[in-house]
Chains A and B, each alone.
Chain A
Amino acid sequence: MSVVVFAENSEGKFKKAVFEAVTYAYKTAQTLGLQVTSIVIGDTESGETDKLAQYGSSKVIKVAAPGSVFQPQQWSHIVANVFQQNGGKVLIFSNTYTGKAIAPQVAVKTGASLATNVISLPVVSDKFVVTRGAFSGKGFADVALERELKIIALMPNSIDLEEHKVEATVETMTVDQVSASLEVIEVNKVKGKIPLTEAEIVVSGGRGMKGPENWHLIEQFAEAIGASTACSKPVSDMDWRPHSEHVGQTGITIKPNLYIAIGISGAIQHLAGVSSSKVIVVINKDPEAPFFKAADYGIVGDAFDILPKLIKAAGATSNA
């Protein structure tokens, strides 16, 4: 019996969120006295599967991709089959768009309990309880998963990576194919950019940036410290930035190690989406901005004076 991880294959590589999921699976397996098995769909670059063993996956099952593009129904069919045929008890996904597209389908196929947005390891006594983010960052909920099989979608940046090197066997498995339900016409991915939900550092701009023409300052600063960029709701509402960058209650909820808010006052709806960040920095010219109450570090002043200094300082003393 095992704890199974869906090791999401991102163009032949695994992202940090996958290693977090394997670390999570290893620790859960230790609690339950089980082993970790990873499922990989599609080809990976050489040496990639060894990395799964480094974080504690003692078995890696590779299944050929049914097609050149991601199809939730085909992928969930494979994952459900591999999970059940390997005596899986708990199945771990990353809480990404891909993970969240497949996990519910696998839950229905296997009759498992499903928890998404999970941020803690399970506490196992007579119940199996995990903590998940709720109320769009305004609260947390402890939920007991009642079914024999359990599926968890783990929020990126929720647990620290830990190496637990094990000897791993790699197997190839064949799963009968189901037909695809979607016709994929076009895929537009921003190359080399870390998705916001997985970013460790996020620089975010608000109305105080005055207009989209000033965003180069946000971008330059983000680049200097290796951050992804985000924005507040008014900024996406005014189409200064795409909605996919909007963090907050009706946007994306994130929990990076560092969140830097520039020209954002900190309305309750915005705070909801970012309050789980480990360190929050607020730069705002209004000393009364409510965001300062939620911040670890703050600078009261004009972003247009401060940002060039920060870009220079970050570049000059770079660790590289």
Chain B
Amino acid sequence: MKILVCMSVVPDTTTKITFTDNDTRLNKLGVQFVINPYDEISITKALALAEKSGGTVTVIHVGPAENDAVIRKALALGAHDAIRINAEAIDSQFVAEQIALAVKDSAYDLIMTGRESIDYNGGQVCGLLGELLGLPSINVVSTIEIEGEKAVMTHDIDGGKEKVSCKLPFVMSAQKDLCEPAIPNMRGIMAARTKPLNVVEPQASQPYSSYVKYASPKPKASVKLIDASESEKLIELLRNEAKVI
């Protein structure tokens, strides 16, 4: 079984997000970059599925050379090789288009993404990639079992969950409960140094969108404290002052 996992490189979840250059760019100063948490889950699950069937896992990333150190972490987890498309990830549509062009002749049995990246939260790449490659796409998958030529999955839908079956190949995005993300061990880290990381140049593309400006959430005015002995006052304040219930 040949599995491809698309990975994004994002600021660590504890990062305080600030912007620079007149709020036109993310301030990367002092920010620790990591594998997008949902993609890390995909990689872990992909490795488990590949191990069962004696297959391989390739990770693919669209980004500049400075992200190679993070890609090596995916290799340290056990991915067999990596592809980096050498371009700034402008938006989800650009990323999906570049990945589709790079892998369209590679005949992967399963393509995995995270349900969204925690920086741009688009949640688009799974659906875009499926459509670009002419494959079905299943979003927000929390369990998957491969049964011969097909996979049985549960995934989140509005107001609940759904159990579906789909014939391979297809594209899926991982929800957090798909598995516990793995932690690389020393042997994995050593092995990752010599694993192939192939760099390919991007293809020409017409722009879909451009990010013009960023803003941070407005800070709250100070909190109005209610004494615990008069807790029921809260209900009245929410009704008559805040008017939210």
List the interface of chain A (C-beta within 8 A of B): 10, 70, 72-73, 76, 96-98, 100-105, 107-109, 113-117, 127, 129, 131, 133-147, 181-190, 193, 195, 201, 225-226, 243-244, 246, 249-251, 253, 257-258, 268-269, 275-276, 278-282, 292-302, 305-306, 309-310, 312-314, 317, 319
**B169 CB, min distance to chain A CBs, angstroms:** 11
Given contacts A103-B127, A300-B228, 16 further A-B contacts (CB under 8 A): A104-B127, A104-B131, A105-B128, A114-B93, A114-B208, A127-B212, A141-B211, A144-B209, A184-B162, A185-B164, A243-B176, A250-B13, A296-B224, A298-B223, A301-B228, A305-B231
Once the chains bind, are A183 and B214 in contact (CB under 8 Å)? Answer: no
For A309, the chain B residues whose CB sits under 8 A away are 231-232
Kindly name the residue among B19, B92, B121 whose own CB sees the greatest number of chain A CB atoms within 10 A: B121
Contact among B37, B125, B166, B242 for A182, CB-based, below 8 A: B166
Contact among B93, B162, B220, B235 for A310, CB-based, below 8 A: B235
| A312 to B234 Cα, complex, angstroms | 12
Contact among B166, B207, B234 for A181, CB-based, below 8 A: B166
**A33 CB, min distance to chain B CBs, angstroms:** 23
User: Mind listing 7 A-B residue pairs with CB under 8 Å?
Assistant: A117-B123, A135-B11, A139-B215, A145-B208, A188-B163, A243-B142, A312-B232
| A226 to B159 Cα, complex, angstroms | 16
Once the chains bind, are A144 and B210 in contact (CB under 8 Å)? Answer: yes
List the interface of chain B (C-beta within 8 A of A): 11, 13-17, 19, 37-38, 91-93, 96, 118-128, 130-132, 136-140, 142, 152, 156-167, 170, 175-177, 206-217, 220-221, 223-228, 231-232, 234-239, 242, 244-245
| A28 to B212 Cα, complex, angstroms | 20
Once the chains bind, are B234 and A281 in contact (CB under 8 Å)? Answer: yes
**B65 CB, min distance to chain A CBs, angstroms:** 24
| A313 to B226 Cα, complex, angstroms | 15
For B209, the chain A residues whose CB sits under 8 A away are 113-115, 143-146
Kindly name the residue among A113, A250, A257, A313 whose own CB sees the greatest number of chain B CB atoms within 10 A: A250
For B221, the chain A residues whose CB sits under 8 A away are 296
Q: If the complex has contacts A201-B244, A201-B245, A300-B225, are A134 and B234 also in contact, measured as CB distance less than 8 A?
A: no
Contact among A105, A188, A276 for B217, CB-based, below 8 A: A276
| A10 to B221 Cα, complex, angstroms | 39
Query: Which residue in chain A gives the minimum CB-CB distance to B140?
Result: A97
Contact among A97, A139, A226, A246 for B17, CB-based, below 8 A: A139
Contact among B152, B214, B224 for A297, CB-based, below 8 A: B224
| A251 to B37 Cα, complex, angstroms | 11
For A138, the chain B residues whose CB sits under 8 A away are 15-17, 216-217
Contact among A117, A136, A193, A306 for B228, CB-based, below 8 A: A306
Once the chains bind, are B213 and A243 in contact (CB under 8 Å)? Answer: no
Once the chains bind, are B122 and A116 in contact (CB under 8 Å)? Answer: yes
Contact among A101, A183, A195 for B165, CB-based, below 8 A: A183
Once the chains bind, are A253 and B238 in contact (CB under 8 Å)? Answer: no
**A82 CB, min distance to chain B CBs, angstroms:** 17
Once the chains bind, are A73 and B136 in contact (CB under 8 Å)? Answer: yes
| A139 to B208 Cα, complex, angstroms | 21
Contact among B139, B163, B234 for A97, CB-based, below 8 A: B139
Once the chains bind, are A72 and B177 in contact (CB under 8 Å)? Answer: no
**B80 CB, min distance to chain A CBs, angstroms:** 27
| A139 to B215 Cα, complex, angstroms | 6
For A306, the chain B residues whose CB sits under 8 A away are 228, 231
Once the chains bind, are A279 and B176 in contact (CB under 8 Å)? Answer: no
Contact among B123, B215, B231 for A116, CB-based, below 8 A: B123
Query: Which residue in chain A gives the minimum CB-CB distance to B152?
Result: A185
| A226 to B216 Cα, complex, angstroms | 31
Once the chains bind, are A298 and B93 in contact (CB under 8 Å)? Answer: no
9 residue pairs, one from A and one from B, having the closest CB atoms: A301-B228, A104-B127, A181-B136, A313-B232, A189-B160, A108-B131, A138-B17, A258-B244, A186-B163
Once the chains bind, are B242 and A189 in contact (CB under 8 Å)? Answer: no
Once the chains bind, are A181 and B160 in contact (CB under 8 Å)? Answer: no
For A295, the chain B residues whose CB sits under 8 A away are 220, 223
**A194 CB, min distance to chain B CBs, angstroms:** 8
**B198 CB, min distance to chain A CBs, angstroms:** 26
Once the chains bind, are B159 and A193 in contact (CB under 8 Å)? Answer: yes
Query: Which residue in chain B gives the minimum CB-CB distance to A200?
Result: B244
**B29 CB, min distance to chain A CBs, angstroms:** 16
Once the chains bind, are A296 and B208 in contact (CB under 8 Å)? Answer: no
| A184 to B124 Cα, complex, angstroms | 22
